[in-house]
Amino acid sequence: MSQRENISSEEVQKFNDLAKEWWNPHGSFAPLHKLNPLRFEYIRANSNLEGKTAIDVGCGGGILTESLASVASNVHGIDMAEKGLAVANIHKNDSELTNIVYSQSTVEDYALTNNENFDVLTCMEMLEHVPSPEETIQACSDIVVKGGDLFFATINRNIKSYVMAIVGAEYILNLLPKGTHEFDCFIKPSELEKWSRSAGLELIELIGVIYNPITTVFSLSDDVDVNYMMHFKKINDDR
């Protein structure tokens, strides 16, 4: 597969169809709105964002991108869903944020012209929507400076994650639209770590994210069976 083909057009279409929902805190992306403060605080506490350049890969409507821009000096958001990007641009302008640039690109294409440009990279809830997450991770590594921080978030692949993230979230609790996730595209932490290591990244921390359906609150946890985040640093071989 050439780098340019690492896109699932069905997956991108799903997000184009839902684009108008991005900033509705009670709509299809409600879980991301609830999760955002937790993940942003984690990123902020574990990287040196202030005054730095950051990139949000698979930025969607810009929920996390805007949080990053509240601390970083410049933030770039890239995504393939043009309707999501249009919504992200409108919201950015309404919020009078001047330090965000959005563009329609895969990270693989972006890496062809951007080498070691960013101090911090986030790629959250996106790897489970691409045909080859391994290629995505390599391109993410290519665009980060040596010693820079990368944060990935995705969903583990096991019986529990099937029951919780698909049956529970899509069919019982109606937290997400039906068909949001394909079980086969879920990623085990060991796979993500292996691909990242091959891409020159060193694992700093693996941490679970759990959802309590009673309190409707997300929190960090040792339990990585369903949602999890991984923090990596790009190895600096000049050290």
**In this complex, which beta carbon is closest to ligand SAH, that of residue 58 or of residue 189?**
58
Question: How far apart are alpha carbons 64 and 161 in whole angstroms?
Answer: 24
Closest separation in Å from C-beta 34 to ligand SAH: 11
Closest separation in Å from C-beta 129 to ligand SAH: 4
Give CA separation, 165 vs 149, 172, 180, 194, 201, in Å: 27, 10, 10, 23, 28
Closest separation in Å from C-beta 8 to ligand SAH: 6
Tell me which stretch binds ligand SAH (CB under 6 A): 53-61, 90-98, 188-196, 223-231: 53-61
Q: Which of 54, 59, 175, 187 binds ligand SAH (CB under 6 A)?
A: 59
Question: How far apart are alpha carbons 42 and 230 in whole angstroms?
Answer: 11
Is 12 an interacting residue with respect to ligand SAH (CB under 6 A)?
yes
Closest separation in Å from C-beta 20 to ligand SAH: 13
Q: Which residues does residue 154 pair with via DSSP β-bridges, in sequence order? A: 228
Q: Are 196 and 203 in contact (CB under 8 A)?
A: yes
Q: Kindly identify the residues of this chain, within the stretch 107-166, that bind ligand SAH according to CB under 6 A.
A: 124-126, 129-130
**In this complex, which beta carbon is closest to ligand SAH, that of residue 79 or of residue 149?**
79
Residue count of the chain, please give it.
Answer: 239
Q: Which of 31, 32, 207, 218 binds ligand SAH (CB under 6 A)?
A: 32
**In this complex, which beta carbon is closest to ligand SAH, that of residue 130 or of residue 165?**
130
Closest separation in Å from C-beta 111 to ligand SAH: 12
Tell me which stretch binds ligand SAH (CB under 6 A): 55-63, 156-164, 185-193, 194-202: 55-63
Residues lying near ligand SAH in the complex (CB under 6 A) are found at 6-7, 11-12, 15, 32, 58-60, 63-64, 79-81, 84, 106, 124-126, 129-130
